[in-house]
Amino acid sequence: MLMEQAPALYGFAYARLRDHHLAQDLVQDALVAAWKSWSHYQGGSPLLTWLTGILRHKILDHHRVSSRRPALSSPPEKEGHALEDDLFDACGSWKIDPNHGMSPLLQSPAKAAQNADLRKWIAHCMDKLPPRLHLLFTAREVDELPVPEAAKLAGVTEGSAAVLLTRARQALRLCLQESLAR
């Protein structure tokens, strides 16, 4: 029964971590843990939901151990400022037109939802985020976790998560605009 869930769990882990080996290792850890604590499974929630919760804990543990690496502290700081300085002048006014080429996003939500090209570009721009930022961003935006939980999952402090999420959204928006305006 647990083995049947392995592909879905792997899909969940890979989509967030984008690391084949790490996704496999963590799915294996999660399933072994689930197997050992099978008696705790209440059956109230779907099995996959229970397993995904365990997998999240494994991702969190992994980043807790590896968070001593300063993967996110210094370089994005620089990049972030460069990004904002490219967008705004000394008075904080736009140097570029942020709405140029963005009409697919500005049309009615129902129309935008039908635009497959738009979703393709959005996925492309999400993929361009660096790995740890991608994990933080998907935890917050896709899984809609509260900021403290998303920060823990990605192994960053709550304070830097706020800064990083803002940068990620700004970078994603700009990537999307450059793609659509092409």
- Residues interacting with other proteins, by CB under 8 A? 1-3, 6-7, 10-11, 14-15, 20, 24, 27-28, 31-32, 34-36, 38-39, 41, 84, 86-102, 105-106, 109, 112-113, 118-120, 122-123, 126, 138, 140-142, 147, 162, 165-166, 169-170, 172-174, 176-178, 181-182
Shortest gap between Cβ of 27 and other proteins (angstroms)?
7
Distance CA(109)–CA(112), nearest Å, equals: 5
Shortest gap between Cβ of 175 and other proteins (angstroms)?
11
Residues whose CB falls within 8 Å of the CB of residue 47, separated by 6 or more in sequence, listed in order:
1, 2, 5, 41
The amino acid occupying position 19 is D
Closest to other proteins by CB, 49 or 93: 93
Shortest gap between Cβ of 60 and other proteins (angstroms)?
19
In terms of DSSP H, where are the helices of 37-157? 47-66, 74-87, 103-106, 109-113, 116-127, 131-141, 147-154
Cβ–Cβ under 8 Å, residues 133 and 170: no
Closest to other proteins by CB, 68 or 106: 106
Shortest gap between Cβ of 120 and other proteins (angstroms)?
7
